[in-house]
Amino acid sequence: MIREERTPQSEKAAPHSGPCIVSEGLGAWYGSLQALRNISMSILAKRVTAVIGPSGCGKSTFIRCLNRMHEVVPAARVSGKVLLDGEDVYAPGVDPVEVRRRVGMVFQKPNPFPTMSVFDNVAAGLKLNGLRAPGGLAERVEKALRQAALWDEVKDKLKQGGAALSGGQQQRLCIARALAVEPEVLLMDEPCSSLDPIATARIEDLVRELCDRYTIVIVTHNMQQAARVSDMTAFFLMGQDRAGELIEYGETQQVFTNPKDERTEAYITGRFG
């Protein structure tokens, strides 16, 4: 597959866009160990936001707080607010189940359900929400698979097991699965780290296409990937007490060529991390 030369996302002119997910003073703990401190940032709608930083600085913890997956771990807790379209998802009485439908997630290692076919994998979220009529399901599944650029490769294999695909295909299947329920935001936790370069490139292309419709937050330890794919970049760093902090957040172009904080510069230029 020959890749055309494309302009990095960050160099395209980005019309002004409003915030979609906003964290205010977000802190996160695993038991008594603080993993995040006072993260306040505004993630813009229909843009790709990259979260970069060295290992252990809380990047994954941060996005897991955005869809209330952090609390799935026993003894985990959160303080502060996360506003989705202006409403705090951590307000009492808010059902995390509903939050997670609106904020989807793709994990580091592809995790399709091995006992389900390709079709059933994509349809899993839809069936939960009560959409069972076969006609309606088939439409939605095809739409999601097309959005994930997987339809052509699996349209004859819909009844086959979800685990029989290659690594890159499995990850796109997981993306289709997440997209099928039509979330507003898609969180991606190092989605390419277990994939080969070609599969990685396909997913990066996919991310750029998807941001027309979805707000995307992508955690990555690969700075080149962040530079290629994102509009905005957030740089996290572990503080003295091992809690992660937001050091710098701005347009990708600016963060990479003209960082405001010297620690950002040190990381970008490879002096550590």
Partner 1 sequence: MDQPQALEQAQTPGKVWRSLLRRPASPGDGLFRVTTLLAALSLLGLLLAMVVYLFGAAWPAIAHFGMGFLMRSTWDPVREVFGALPAIYGTLVTSALAMLVAVPVSLGTAIFLAELAPGWLRAPASFLVEMLAAIPSVVLGLWGIFVMAPVLQPVERWLAESLGFVPFFRGPVFGGVGFLAGGLILSVMALPIITAVARDAILTVPASQREAMLALGATRWEAIRHAVLPYTRSGLVAASILGLGRALGETMAVTMVIGNGYRLTARLFAPGNTMASKIATQFNEASGLETNALVELALVLFAVALIVNVVGRLLVRWTVARVAGGGH
Partner 2 sequence: MIASARTHARRKATNYIMIALCGLATLAAVGVLLLVVGYTLLQGIAYLNLGFVTQTARPLGEPGGGMRHEIVGTIVLVGLASALGIPVGLLAGTYLSEFGGRVGSVVRLVADVLTGIPSVVVGIFVYVVLVRPMGTFSALSGAVALAIIMLPVVARTTEEMMKLVPQTYREAALALGIPRWRVIVSVVVPGAMVGIVTGSMLALARIAGETAPLIFTALGNRFGFAGLDEPIAALPLQIWRYAVSPYDTWHQQAWAAAFLLVMLVLVISVLVRWLTAWRRG
The site for partner 1 (CB under 8 A) is made up of 67, 69, 72, 74-75, 97-102, 104-105, 107, 109, 111-116, 124-125, 128-129, 163, 174, 177-178, 181
Q: Shortest Cβ distance from residue 75 to partner 1 (Å)?
A: 7
Q: Per rule CB under 8 A, is residue 97 in the interface with partner 2? A: yes
Q: Tell which one of 83, 131, 149, 266 touches partner 2 (CB under 8 A).
A: 131
Q: Which among partner 1, partner 2, none contacts residue 178 (Cβ within 5 to 8 A by kind)?
A: partner 1
The neighbour count for residue 173, using CB atoms within 10 Å, is 26
Residue nearer to partner 2 on the CB measure, 129 or 224 = 129
Tell me the CA end-to-end span of the chain in Å, nearest whole number.
Answer: 32
Figure out which of the listed residues 129, 166, 257, 269 binds partner 2, where binding follows CB under 8 A. Answer: 129
Report the side by side order of strands in the sheet with 48-52: 87-88, 76-84, 19-30, 33-44, 244-251, 232-238, 48-52, 215-219, 185-189, 103-106
Given candidates 92, 130, 134, 197, which one binds partner 2 under the rule CB under 8 A? 130
- CA-to-CA distance for 151 and 157, rounded, in angstroms? 10
Q: For 50, how many CA atoms within 13 A lie in the half-sphere containing its CB?
A: 29
Dihedral (CA of 177, 180, 181, 182) sign:
positive
Beta bridge partners of 158: none
Interface segment toward partner 2; rule CB under 8 A; list 19-27, 128-136, 194-202, 211-219: 128-136
Report the Cα 96 to chain-centroid distance in Å: 18
Q: Is 182 in the site for partner 2 (CB under 8 A)?
A: yes
Q: Which residues bind partner 2 (CB under 8 A)?
A: 95, 97-98, 101, 126, 128-131, 140, 181-182
